[in-house]
Copies of this chain bind each other. A is one copy, B any other.
């Protein structure tokens, strides 16, 4: 099922170069500095449940596609919003869910989900025939059985995948108890938290007011003032650092930044706290907070990541019934040049500050992001994100960003996934596409072959370590 030459150019000369390059990085350890795996997996090291719960119910790439073709989320066992504990157990029989998936597997033709899933089936479970309605039950049984074996426990897989470091994404209110448990367990796997403070910055975030209160409580700061609030965040960042965090992450609707004077910032914060702020004030507060966070990164050295441009929970009916992260987050046009100016004017020239930009709007790569990253010392370009974490998307990224930003203002690959089993396949796809791009550059005499070997290693390892200070 997995051809050794997959994803390389079909033109033989470029393919040969790509394959040679790939040989040198195929077996390198995985650096995963940004993602959404659950640290409790590695703290508890319990067996994963059934194939549906492992592959389908947590993967919005999969169930959104099935939903788009009229398959109900109920039939896939997606839990209703508000369900807790036992209720969260899907009413759907996991084997039935798996059968639906197998029957609809043709829908994923031409998508990266297909590549990732085939890779996992083949390399992890030795299942080399394409999933289909006839082998669905057999596959379900094989996977179920293997998941109960010690080799398929989270830590064993972590080691099998040769993961050198894996970062999670965590609320600023998180106690990091699982990260603590991992450290104290004696297990050597390096699982690091990432500071993602959206829950206490975005006034529309569910439970915002209580979140601010909790922030005050756990930090011992007076969050009734902007200064106290900032100090609370500073303390939480230090706490995250003490558990190995090297980065922050910020999910905003836009890339808007601001640089208010202290009085205006304090007033704005009071408006936000009051619960009577307008949408504009909330956006301005988020904008101001990006700049504040950049300032703290200059202080404490945490690499800063910005993921803007996703309109969350676009489908009202699905949101009301099933809650967030149900495949209904839709990208929108994103402006970086004017929006980032206040932050960059203040901190863009700072030595040692690393600020990684992501986008869901590919038109910005050649127009805005590569020119910005090709000038400001602080800026780096994150890899293709979400919908664009795909062969064509990754190739377009290299084609549109490299000529202006070069390779050395990029930061290697992020798998950005909740789907733990897909991590090796995602890194494999990324490495192959980079090899394919470099193979073309070499055969078109735009880069010398000896340099391509250096570049592929830099993209796979060195640039990741440097950008995320690993």
Contact = CB atoms under 8 A, between A and B. Distances in A.
Interface of A: 2-3, 5-11, 13-14, 64-65, 67-70, 106-112, 114-115, 130, 311, 314-318, 327-333, 335, 337-338, 341, 344-345, 348-349, 351, 360-363, 366-368, 370-377, 379, 387-388, 390-393, 399-400, 402-409, 440-441, 443-448, 451, 454-455
Most central of A112, A311, A375, A377 by chain B CB within 10 Å? A375
Q: How many copies does the complex hold?
A: 3
Contacts of A372: 314, 330
Most central of A69, A315, A379 by chain B CB within 10 Å? A315
Given A446-B7, A455-B109, A399 B392 contact: yes
15 contacts: A10-B13, A10-B14, A10-B443, A68-B379, A69-B377, A106-B408, A106-B451, A109-B408, A110-B403, A112-B403, A330-B337, A330-B371, A330-B375, A332-B337, A392-B403
B374 A65 contact: yes
9 shortest interchain CB distances as A-B pairs: A6-B445, A10-B443, A3-B445, A390-B403, A110-B402, A363-B363, A316-B345, A64-B375, A330-B371
A119 to B, nearest CB: 12
A445 B311 CA distance: 34
A117 to B, nearest CB: 13
Contacts of A341: 314
Nearest to A316: B345
B6 A446 contact: yes
A448 B130 contact: yes
A284 B443 CA distance: 50
A13 B11 CA distance: 8
Contacts of A402: 110-111, 392
A32 to B, nearest CB: 21
B315 A68 contact: no
A3 B408 CA distance: 25
Contacts of A311: 337-338
Contacts of A2: 445
A332 B367 contact: yes
Contacts of A371: 329-331, 387
B444 A6 contact: yes
Contact of A69 (B69, B110, B408, B454): B408
A71 B359 CA distance: 27
Contacts of A65: 374, 406
A332 B328 contact: no
A321 to B, nearest CB: 10
A216 B22 CA distance: 66
Contact of A67 (B338, B375, B406): B375
A393 B403 contact: yes
A375 B14 CA distance: 36
Contact of A377 (B68, B399, B406): B68
A367 B409 CA distance: 23
B315 A348 contact: yes
B377 A345 contact: no
Contacts of A333: 333, 335, 363, 367
A317 B349 contact: yes
